Amino acid sequence: MGMKIIRVLLLATGFCLVGLAARAANAPSGEKAQAVRLLTAIAHNDYAAFVAEGDSQFQGMPREQFAQNAAQLAPRLNGGYQMAY
């Protein structure tokens, strides 16, 4: 895959995760916990935590691409958000 495609996919994934987090506040505890883990990993630029529970394909995400997208999303996440389901 080209780097531009990967970047677009990661950015879209990030926005989807933010949307999932917004729906997760009243979600079953397992789903809410997963959303919190992923968003916290993005907010702290923690690649290892982000891919820890993913399958082998998800764990193959390039670290550099994650870092670029986390850098774009972290300010929003660190600015505060509320999750709603």
Residue 16 lies in a domain: yes
Q: How many residues does the chain have?
A: 85
Q: How many separate domains does the chain show? A: 1
CA–CA dist 57, 10 (Å, integer): 13
Residue 84 lies in a domain: no
User: What tens digit of pLDDT does each residue of 21-48 get?
Assistant: 555 555 577 888 898 999 999 999 999 9
User: What tens digit of pLDDT does each residue of 67-81 get?
Assistant: 999 999 999 999 988
Q: Which of 1, 15, 3 is nearest to 64 (CA)?
A: 3
CB-based contacts of 17, cutoff 8 Å, min separation 6: 35, 38, 39, 42
Residue 83 lies in a domain: no
Q: Which contacts (CB < 8 Å, 24+ apart) does range 50-56 have?
A: none
pTM to 2 decimal places? 0.65
Range of the domain at 69: 3-77
Residue 85 lies in a domain: no
